[in-house]
Amino acid sequence: MMNSIAQMGEALADFIERHPKLWVITGAGVSTDSGIPDYRDADGQWKRPPPVQHGDFMASIAVRQRYWARALVGFKAMREAQVSGAHRALAALESMGHIELLVTQNVDRLHQRAGSRKVVDLHGRADIVACLSCGYQMMRHAMHSEMATMNPYFTTLDARHAPDGDADLETDFSTFKVLDCPRCRGILKPQVVYYGDVVPPARRLAAQAGLENANAVLAVGTSLMVYSGYRFCRDAHAMGLPVASLSLGVTRADTLLTHQWRAPITPVLEHALKVLRFSSTLVSTTG
């Protein structure tokens, strides 16, 4: 049984070397070292109440008041987040030619900031908001600035940060003023796929095309409990591709996995990268 970071890193490096065109899917566990909380525990269970549903956000001004008031407090974690060792290691693996495509369920854009280029933001991005009526767009920080001016009391509140820019804040939200679209007064929403919404077809097809060109799947920092990510592991299994997982706990795809390492993500990735770099250097000096 592998019981050390080094052993698991070496096994992961071997997997990567034997499957040089990896289709990688990442989740919240990749960004926890960046200070952004994740949703689930090692057993795949919710750590807190599930996030907002798309239908509720659209139908209820009270839900939008609660969402945006909490975001004024919680989005600081995403705004100030720095890339982690895991982000840098995955970017390095891409630069070495090991990654065919990286599909992330995260909305923090940290993979891009780390240098990854072959990225599909499956669930969108949290730093831009758009009007659902006319398509007007603005940067998230600009919207927060406007709402902070409109709601000075809420800028004085503090609470523990939650995933994806939320905060564990409970108070009376009924007086909170939500900024509507400055062009048409429509509903502004982050360019994020909420629960109950669907992944835009273009992103799903781009991810599928990458999978068809890959020769193995590596899931990193994700429980794969959300179907939009799990579906690709199911498809890969049906295609006969090896499916591996590096995470702290169980995944929805456990029965499909050919390799599984339950361990801290960053140190295992960094050790695997070290092994691969040494192997590459050895080949170049002896070749």
User: How much is the average pLDDT of 152-178?
Assistant: 92
Stated pTM of the model? 0.93
Please state, in angstroms and rounded to a whole number, the distance separating the CA atoms of residues 55 and 146: 25
Q: What is the CATH number of the domain that holds 138?
A: 3.40.50.1220
For residue 9, the tally of other CB atoms under 10 A from its CB is 24
- Flag whether pLDDT at 144 surpasses 60: yes
233 marked as part of a ligand binding site: no
C-alpha triplet 200, 206, 211: angle, nearest 5°: 130
On the question of pLDDT at 50 being above 80, the answer is no
Q: Could you report the per-residue pLDDT of 199-243, keeping only the tens digit for each?
A: 999 999 999 999 999 999 999 999 999 999 999 999 999 999 999
Q: Could you tell me if 204 and 95 are in contact, meaning their C-beta atoms sit under 8 angstroms apart?
A: no
pLDDT in tens, 114-131: 999 999 999 999 999 999
Q: Residue 22 and residue 110: Cα distance in Å, rounded? A: 19
Please report the pLDDT score of residue 1 as a whole number.
43
Confidence label for 271 from pLDDT (cuts 50, 70 and 90): very high
- The count of structural domains within the chain is 1
Q: pLDDT tens digit string along 232-269?
A: 999 999 999 999 999 999 999 999 999 999 999 999 99
Residues marked active site are found at 123
Residue 42 clears pLDDT 90, i.e. is over it: no
**pLDDT at residue number 287:** 53
Closest CA to 209 of 90, 62, 54, 101: 101
Max Cα–Cα distance, the chain, nearest Å: 70
DSSP assignment, residue 240? T
pLDDT tens, position by position, 66-105: 999 999 999 988 889 999 999 999 999 999 999 999 999 9
The Cα–Cα gap between 65 and 178 comes to: 6
In percent, the amount of the chain with pLDDT more than 90 equals: 84
Q: Which domain holds residue 102?
A: 5-286
| Average pLDDT across the chain, whole number | 93
